[in-house]
Amino acid sequence: AHAQSVAATAAARVETQPVPHSGDAADDPAIWLHPSDPQQSTILGTDKQGGLGVYGLDGKQIQYLADGKLNNVDLRYNFQLSGQPTTIVTASNRTNGTIAIYRVNATTRKLENIAARRIYPSIGVYGACMYRSPSSGAYYVFVTSASGGVEQWELFGTSTGKVDARRVRSFSVGTRAEGCVADDVLGRFYVGSETVGIWRYAAEPSGGNERSLIDLVGAGGHLVGEVEGLTIYYTSGGNGYLLASSQGNSSFVVYERTGSNAYLKTFTIGAGNGVDAVSGTDGIDVTNVNLGPTFPQGLFVAQDTANDGGNQNFKLVPWQAIAQAGSPALTIDPSWDPRRVGSGGATPTPTATPAPTSTPTATPSPGATLTFRPIADARVEEANPGSNYGTSSTLRVDGGSDPDIESYLRFTVTGATTAVQSVKLRVYSTSSSANGPAVYATGGGWTESGITWSTRPSRTSGALDDRGSVAANTWLEYDLTSLITGDGTYNLLLALDNPDGINLSAREGSAVPQLVLTLGGSATPTPTAAPGTIALPGRVEVEDYAGFWDSSAGNSGGVYRSDDVDIQTTSDSSGAYNIAWVTAGEWLAYDVNIATAGSYTFAIRAATPHSDRRLHLELDGTNVSGPIALPTTGGWQTWTTVTTPPIALPSGRHTLRLVVDTDSLNLNYITVSAN
C-alpha cells in the first residue's frame, strides 16, 4: 500500500443483529431515511447466503426476506410509480442472476417486491448500485460482474404498478468488479476493480468507455486488496466525499467528491461503546442526515466480517466520529436531504452532461405502448459489395457522390390487439450529420448474416420520414404510422441521398434500436410486449437470449455477440448461429409472452457427437420439463430435433430458462407449439 500510516480511528455506537447464515454472508448495507421521523429510518443489509434484512437504528431486525443470495443493495427516492413518489430498492440476486426490485412501505418500514418480471442482465450478476440522472430524471441500476462486465439498466413503471427495466449501456472494466456508487448530482459512476483500484466513468447512458483511475490497490496507492464498498457523502455546498472500503487492511479511505477525487485520509473502526472493532469490510453506506439522538450528525454503516458476537453483521458509526478522527477533519453538514432529489424541490445545480432523450416508459397516456427490438439489422457498403456486416455494433448511412452505405432493420410486431394509434422508429446516433437519413420500407429477402450490397433488397416505398440536422449521441425518431398497422414482420431501410454520413448504434451496440407502438384506447394488451420479448407459440433463436450464466470468459466462436456466451456460425439447414462449447450448469434466459394458458411442446434443435446429453427448461425458476435427453447425432454440426412431452404453461409474460445439465452439445433453436 501507499507509504502512510492508518492512525485515525472511530468507534461504532450500535451493531445489528447477526445475519442468519454463517460464514461469509453479510455483505452490503443501504440506509433508508424515513419521510417524517428520522429515528424510524432503517438499515437494509444483504445476506449473500440467503436474503435481505431490514434493521432499525437500534440494530434489531424488522424483516428478513429469504429471496436468494442478495449481494449488493441500493435505493433511491421519488420514483414515480402509478402517480405516486416511491422509494425504490434494487439488489443483485446471485441465486438466479437477476436484478431484484422492491419498494419501501413507509408505514411498516418493510420491503415489498415490485419487480414486473425476473430481469436478467447478460452478465453474471455480482454487485449493483443505483443512479438518478440530474438531467433527464431517469432512474438506473448499474450491475457489475466477476468477469469485469458492467451493464446499466433504466427502470420504468408499468400499468400494473410494477417496475421493469431495459438495458441501455454495457462496458467492461477488465477485471472482477463488485462495489460501485453513482453521484446523482455530478453524474459520475465509480466502480471498484477489486485487485486494481477505483475507476471513475460518466454515469449517463451516453457516457461511453472513457475512465480515470483515481486510486490503486497495492504499491503507489492507498488501498489494500480487495477494494470493496463505495459510498458518497453529500453536502449542500456541492462538495463532500467519496469513501471506499480497503478490505485487505480493514480500513476506509476518504477522497474528495469533486475534481480529481484527491486522497484525504484513511481511518479504521475500532472497538468502543460496547461494540467490537470492524475488520475485512465488504459494503458501506453513509448519510449526512440527522437521525436523532444517537446519530445527530449523520451515520456511517459498515459490514463486519469478523463479528465477535457470532455471524457477520453491520456496525453503525456516528459520522462526527469519523469526521473528527485524524487529519484532516471532514465536513459535518446535515442540511443536504437526498429525499428531496426528484421530488420537485430545490436541489443543487447539476454539472453532468445532458443525457439523450429518455426512452419511453411502458405506460404513456392515453394508450398502452409496445416496444420492440430488431430481430436483425446490418449495414451494406457499395465500396465492399460482397462483404457482410451483420455482426457489427454500428449501422452507417452515407450517400451522394461517395460510395453509398445503407442500413437494414427487421422488426416483428406481436400483441397489437387494439388499433395502432402511432408508430415510431427510434435509432441512436453516435456521430453528427448535417442531414440525417430517411427511412423506407424494403423487401424481406435478406438475412443478418448474409446481406451484402450485391444482394440487398430494393425499396418498396418512397421516403416514409426524413431527418434534418442530427447531433451526436441523440435518439432519432421516425413516424412509421402509415406503414405499421398491426402484427407482422416489417423490413426497413435507412438511406441518404447526400454525402454527409452518420453512424448509428446497431442491436449489438449499447443503444439498441426500438420500434414503439402506441395503441388506441386505454386497455393494456395481453400479453404486454417488452424489449426483446419473444411471443409463444413461436420460435426461439437460442442465441437471442436476454440473460445468461457462462462458466468461462469470452465468446469462443467470436461471432454475433461480444459477451461470454460461446456462439458459432451454424451449418444447420435453418438459422444463422448456434450455441457451442457448453458446460454443465450454464444457462440462457429469454423473456417470453405466452399467448394463452395451455399445453405446449418444445422442439429443440441440437447436435452432439456424444451420448447421454441432457438439459431442462425452467419457467420463472421452476423446472417445467424434467430432464430432456439428447441422443448422439454423430457430429457437432449433424443436427436433430428432440421434442418434449406436452408441458403446461400459464399465459402472460414469463422468464424461460434453458439449463444445460451435461457438457458437450450444440443448440440452434427451439420451436414452441400449442397442442
| E strand segments, 364-437 | 369-372, 376-381, 394-397, 405-413, 420-428
Share of the chain above pLDDT 90, in %: 67
Mean pLDDT calculated for residue range 276-282 = 95
Give the pLDDT of residue 510.
67
Chain-centroid distance, C-alpha 67: 19
Owning domain of residue 376: 369-519
**Rounded to the nearest 5°, which phi and psi values hold at 298?**
110, 175
Residue 138 near residue 358, CB atoms below 8 Å: yes
124, amino acid identity:
G
179-199 pLDDT, tens digit each? 999 999 999 999 999 999 999
507-533 pLDDT, tens digit each? 887 678 988 888 764 333 333 333 357
What whole-number distance in Å separates Cα of residue 149 and Cα of residue 142?
Answer: 10
The three cell numbers locating residue 16: 445489528
The three cell numbers locating residue 171: 462496458
389-435 pLDDT, tens digit each? 999 989 999 987 778 999 999 998 876 767 888 899 999 899 998 88
Task: Look at residue 2 and tell me whether its pLDDT is greater than 50.
Answer: no
Task: Look at residue 5 and tell me whether its pLDDT is greater than 50.
Answer: no
Give the pLDDT of residue 524.
34
Q: What's the CATH number where 430 sits?
A: 2.60.120
DSSP-derived letter for residue 470 is B
Residue 3 inside a domain? The answer is: no
> Hey, how many other C-beta atoms are within 10 angstroms of the C-beta on 444?
13
Residue 154 near residue 205, CB atoms below 8 Å: yes
Same domain? For 332 and 458 the reply is no
Chain-centroid distance, C-alpha 405: 32
Residue 334 near residue 343, CB atoms below 8 Å: no
What whole-number distance in Å separates Cα of residue 528 and Cα of residue 116?
Answer: 11
DSSP assignments along 588-647, one per residue:
EEEEEEESSSEEEEEEEEEE-SSSSEEEEEEETTEE-S--EEE---SSTT--EEEEPPPE
Helix (H) or strand (E) holding 322: helix 319-323
Single out the residue in 519, 551, 579 at which a domain terminates: 519
What whole-number distance in Å separates Cα of residue 463 and Cα of residue 522?
Answer: 31
Task: Look at residue 176 and tell me whether its pLDDT is greater than 60.
Answer: yes
Residue 348 inside a domain? The answer is: no
Give the pLDDT of residue 362.
31
Task: Look at residue 309 and tell me whether its pLDDT is greater than 50.
Answer: yes
> What pairs with residue 280 in β-bridges?
none
Count of structural domains within the chain? 3
Same domain? For 86 and 44 the reply is yes
Task: Look at residue 153 and tell me whether its pLDDT is greater than 60.
Answer: yes
DSSP-derived letter for residue 118 is -
**Rounded to the nearest 5°, which phi and psi values hold at 244?**
-135, 145
542-586 pLDDT, tens digit each? 998 877 877 777 788 888 887 678 999 999 988 889 999 999 988
SS3 sequence, 294-315?
CCCCCEEEEEECCCCCCCCEEE
Single out the residue in 468, 487, 519 at which a domain terminates: 519
Least confident of 165-179, 269-283, 487-501, 630-644: 487-501
Residues with Cβ within 8 Å of residue 63, at least 6 apart in sequence: 53, 54, 109, 110, 111
What whole-number distance in Å separates Cα of residue 250 and Cα of residue 23?
Answer: 18
614-636 pLDDT, tens digit each? 999 999 778 999 999 999 999 99
Q: What's the CATH number where 669 sits?
A: 2.60.120.260
Same domain? For 46 and 148 the reply is yes
Residue 125 inside a domain? The answer is: yes
Q: What is the pTM of this model?
A: 0.61
634: left (phi over 0), alpha (psi -120 to 50) or beta: left
Same domain? For 332 and 252 the reply is yes
Give the pLDDT of residue 610.
96
Task: Look at residue 612 and tell me whether its pLDDT is greater than 80.
Answer: yes
Give the pLDDT of residue 26.
96
Residue 137 inside a domain? The answer is: yes
What whole-number distance in Å separates Cα of residue 630 and Cα of residue 668?
Answer: 13
Same domain? For 121 and 184 the reply is yes
Give the pLDDT of residue 365.
32
Least confident of 194-198, 346-350, 493-497, 641-645: 346-350
| CA nearest neighbour of 166 among 198, 135, 143, 188 | 143
Whole-angstrom CA distances from 493 to 425, 500, 509, 622, 625 are: 11, 17, 18, 41, 41
Residues with Cβ within 8 Å of residue 365, at least 6 apart in sequence: none
Helix (H) or strand (E) holding 668: strand 666-674
Same domain? For 541 and 514 the reply is no
* pLDDT class of 6 with cuts at 50, 70, 90: low
Task: Please give the biggest Cα pair distance in the chain.
Answer: 80
Same domain? For 497 and 605 the reply is no
What whole-number distance in Å separates Cα of residue 211 and Cα of residue 208?
Answer: 9
* pLDDT class of 368 with cuts at 50, 70, 90: low
What whole-number distance in Å separates Cα of residue 541 and Cα of residue 579?
Answer: 10
Give the pLDDT of residue 526.
33
The three cell numbers locating residue 665: 452439445
Same domain? For 265 and 384 the reply is no
The three cell numbers locating residue 153: 439498466
* pLDDT class of 369 with cuts at 50, 70, 90: low
Give the pLDDT of residue 167.
87
For the chain, give the mean pLDDT.
88
Residue 242 inside a domain? The answer is: yes
Q: What's the CATH number where 164 sits?
A: 2.120.10.30
Residue 363 inside a domain? The answer is: no
Half-sphere exposure for 359 (CA within 13 Å, toward CB): 34
Same domain? For 502 and 619 the reply is no
Single out the residue in 340, 361, 390 at which a domain terminates: 340
DSSP-derived letter for residue 343 is T
* pLDDT class of 118 with cuts at 50, 70, 90: confident
Mean pLDDT calculated for residue range 359-372 = 47
Residue 526 inside a domain? The answer is: no
Mean pLDDT calculated for residue range 220-228 = 93
Give the pLDDT of residue 532.
59
Residue 529 inside a domain? The answer is: no
Same domain? For 380 and 488 the reply is yes
Mean pLDDT calculated for residue range 233-253 = 94
Same domain? For 490 and 551 the reply is no
Same domain? For 501 and 543 the reply is no
Chain position carrying cell 430545490: 346
